[in-house]
Structure 1
Amino acid sequence: MTRPWHAPAGSGPWASIDPAAIAHNLAWLRRRLSAAEAGTPPPRLWAVVKADAYGHGLHHALGALDGSDGIAVATLDDAVRSRGLGWRHPIMLLSAVGLDPAVLGDPALGELHIVIDDEAALRRLEDMRASLPRVHAWLRHAGRLRSQGFDDSGYAAAFGRLHALARAGALAAAGHLHHYAMAEDPQALAAERQAFAQATAGLPGPHSTGNSAALCGNAPCPTHAAGHWLRCGLALYGASAVPGRNGAQLGLRPAMSLHARLLGIRRVAAGQTVGYGDGYRAPRDTCIGVVGIGYGHGVPRGLWRHGHVLAGDGGRPVPLAGRVTMDCLTVDLGPQPAERPGDIMTLWGHAPAGAALPVETAALACDTIAAELLTGLTTRLPLLARQDA
């Protein structure tokens, strides 16, 4: 059941962002982790807000994520911006590659956690002259991803150097970080967890692991020692990383609905083609609707082959009819459509009266993942907070 809302005036498309849904999803995850810990204190939680909060807008997401223990960002600029928006909890910078450690000592950054990905970043910390008493450093284990971090053969020695900096007071603390490569596969996930445990065996410091598939999937969540942190991104925005299940089926609420206006309707005879390259041939006499959103707003061109949208307030499913263009797409409304120009069309999320089209369904139609759709919207498209009527 969705809440009532108001659509903006004008003909341009927009994304409706529901901060209450983000808060709901965070609470859902907290309950799940508490149940998995079987009475022991649950681990702390990083809410991942990279890519402008997965396309939802940091300014919309941060207030809803206040119940998390910290946020994780991709760039130092995002950390600065988050502090400017009023975030006062810890911030994790997911990579320190190329950063001068001197900039990390700015008191305005507050408690900052940085991820050390390579030898060069570790050496820069060792070579710095000033101490960073507010900075916690996490050494990345390369694991199965193997794109960043330290492999098994060099991990313990690298961590020993990082831990020495913490013991000397140059850093606040040192910990271990791992990112799963195949969390969707329970057997592969178990193997990755075991490999990380072996790489860190006997080493001091907290661990940081997790992603949405690992935390929401079918594999049981292991218990975590006190002081450990888990990271979660996609699920906080109501989308699923679990194959074969969408966010709503997990108990999550989608935080984004993507809308555009129906700009016009025209009749097409059976057998006539529509769009570039004759991409669609009308199977019968029908009405083609022109919708004011296209790949210039971030809609993948590949959506046209198998995609649907929800037409009107009621959310009637209608198929795309022809290729997505820069500024618009076309849909087959059928021979006698009830919709009229100016009506709202929903590409994913909730139509005004509540019908839902999961972003995972839209992603499947164009052979991609929900995260790509959510983060791929362009700056042409405004992000508007959903409001109660």
Structure 2
Amino acid sequence: MRPLVADIDLAALCHNYRHACACAPQSRSVAIIKADAYGHGAIECAKALVGEAPAFGVACIEEALALRQAGIDTPIVLLEGIFSADELALVDEHGFWIAVHSAWQVEALLSFAPHRPIPVWLKVDSGMHRLGFAPEEIESLWARLSQAPQVGELVLMSHFASADASDSGYFEIQLQRIVALAHALKAPLSIANSPATLAWPVAHGDWNRPGIMLYGSDPLEVANASSRDLRPVMTLRSQVIALRDLAAGEPVGYAGRWRAPRPSRIAVVAAGYGDGYDRHAQDGTPVLVDGQRCTIAGKVSMDMLTVDVTDLPEVRIGSEVVLWGRAANGTVLSVDEVANGCDTISYTLLTGILPRVPRRYLSNDQA
């Protein structure tokens, strides 16, 4: 069989979730598993965290229903709320919690007759300017929802635009706005995403929402001691399937972007953009071959990519290749470093791995 596989280390996932909790011991942490757990497999990741996470966060009702159908009965927050009023029947049936960010959602909810009150997370736009109500609208909405029999627990939520940045100016503006509102309303608060969980204790609320950090990617612009404790969850692993010896000046791959600067040895690896590996990877993007660092040489193809292994004479057909994650010898190649070589972010690499790449789930004993 084709050797490309995404190994998912569930022990590392649990470690990272516990680390999020340890960063904010006075908060409860919603495990964010939207977008198929950032490409890692939402059902398997949720099962690994059942009993630890008090709630899961997803983007839409389809993602939530898949978890329920898999037998997961942990509370689930729909982070974008409902997309149409008729979804409220499913929200009621399955006990979902919903974000409310628009006036039509409020009206739909207050026109509905649930069998039990629905927990609501009221979203304020503190400066992201994406979803949420303006701060000056919140007091009246909070009062209205607090008094409505359709509404259960009510939480005030917002989202930071720049909690990951080394320049904290705009983060602090957003923080001041939302904290002032929460104090005025005596409202439970949820504002901390992954970077705020790791770097901004002042933003830790009643509920935090760690996402990308659960999967071992460092969301901070400048790593800190806390983010360095994260462990990679996905290892994208393949093998060398061919070797080529080239004379100096010979090109490699489409359009001959890379030319051998000396007599060179090129390893062909079973992985390409048809698997979700980013076609924008530049020459020099790091790869591990037999646990040793080398670099991509030439454009990524649909099913293959090429690596310069001139300085690794022991490489053979069948040698282990790690595109990101942990090699057999323990060496780690961060997905964040690979993302930098592709001029993107780790989120796009992890969520971009396509279904033809099998996920292999490793338990605590196997990892």
Moved more, 97-106 or 18-27: 97-106
Moved more, 319-328 or 118-127: 118-127
2:124 alignment partner, one of 127, 137, 141 = 141
Name the CA shift for 1:250/1:379 in 2 (closer, same or farther; >3 Å): same
Deviations 1:337-364 (A, max 9, x none): 2111122210100111211111111111
Deviations 1:197-239 (A, max 9, x none): 233443254221111110112x343564xxx211111111111
Matched, 1:65 2:49: yes
Deviations 1:93-144 (A, max 9, x none): 111242325423543x13x21001211111111222x135152111111121
Matched, 1:50 2:34: yes
2:340 alignment partner, one of 353, 356, 364 = 364
Alpha-carbon distance, 1:57 to partner: 0.6
Distance 1:92 1:102 in 2: 13
Name the CA shift for 1:143/1:70 in 2 (closer, same or farther; >3 Å): same
Name the CA shift for 1:241/1:335 in 2 (closer, same or farther; >3 Å): closer
Contact 2:125 2:131 in 1 (8 A): yes
Name the CA shift for 1:336/1:206 in 2 (closer, same or farther; >3 Å): closer
Distance 1:306 1:385 in 2: 30
- Partner in structure 1 of residue 70 of structure 2: 85
- Partner in structure 2 of residue 26 of structure 1: 17
Matched, 1:114 2:95: no
Name the CA shift for 1:361/1:69 in 2 (closer, same or farther; >3 Å): same
Matched, 1:174 2:158: no
TM-score by length of structure 1 reads 0.87
Unaligned runs of 5+ residues in structure 1 are: 1-9, 35-41
Distance 1:181 1:335 in 2: 43
Aligned pairs for 1:179-194 (under 5 A) are 179-185=159-165, 186-194=168-176
Code of the residue aligned with 2:19 in structure 1: it is W
Matched, 1:262 2:240: yes
Aligned pairs for 1:309-328 (under 5 A) are 309-312=287-290, 315-328=291-304
Distance 1:102 1:197 in 2: 30
Code of the residue aligned with 2:202 in structure 1: it is C
Matched, 1:375 2:342: no
Code of the residue aligned with 1:178 in structure 2: it is S
Code of the residue aligned with 2:89 in structure 1: it is V
Moved over 3 A (4+): 104-107, 219-224, 246-249
Contact 2:123 2:157 in 1 (8 A): yes
Matched, 1:290 2:268: yes
- Partner in structure 2 of residue 37 of structure 1: none
Give the share of equivalent positions with the same residue, in percent: 32
Alpha-carbon distance, 1:70 to partner: 0.6
Alpha-carbon distance, 1:31 to partner: 1.8
Matched, 1:210 2:192: yes
Name the CA shift for 1:248/1:192 in 2 (closer, same or farther; >3 Å): closer
Moved more, 136-145 or 88-97: 88-97
Distance 1:153 1:134 in 2: 26
Unaligned runs of 5+ residues in structure 2 are: none
Distance 1:247 1:258 in 2: 26
Distance 1:268 1:296 in 2: 26
Distance 2:116 2:88 in 1: 12
Name the CA shift for 1:211/1:204 in 2 (closer, same or farther; >3 Å): same
Q: Secondary structure at the match of 1:271?
A: coil
Matched, 1:343 2:324: no
Alpha-carbon distance, 1:247 to partner: 9.2
Matched, 1:301 2:301: no
Name the CA shift for 1:214/1:11 in 2 (closer, same or farther; >3 Å): same
Alpha-carbon distance, 1:13 to partner: 1.1
Q: Secondary structure at the match of 1:133?
A: coil
1:221 alignment partner, one of 202, 217, 233 = 202
Code of the residue aligned with 1:355 in structure 2: it is T
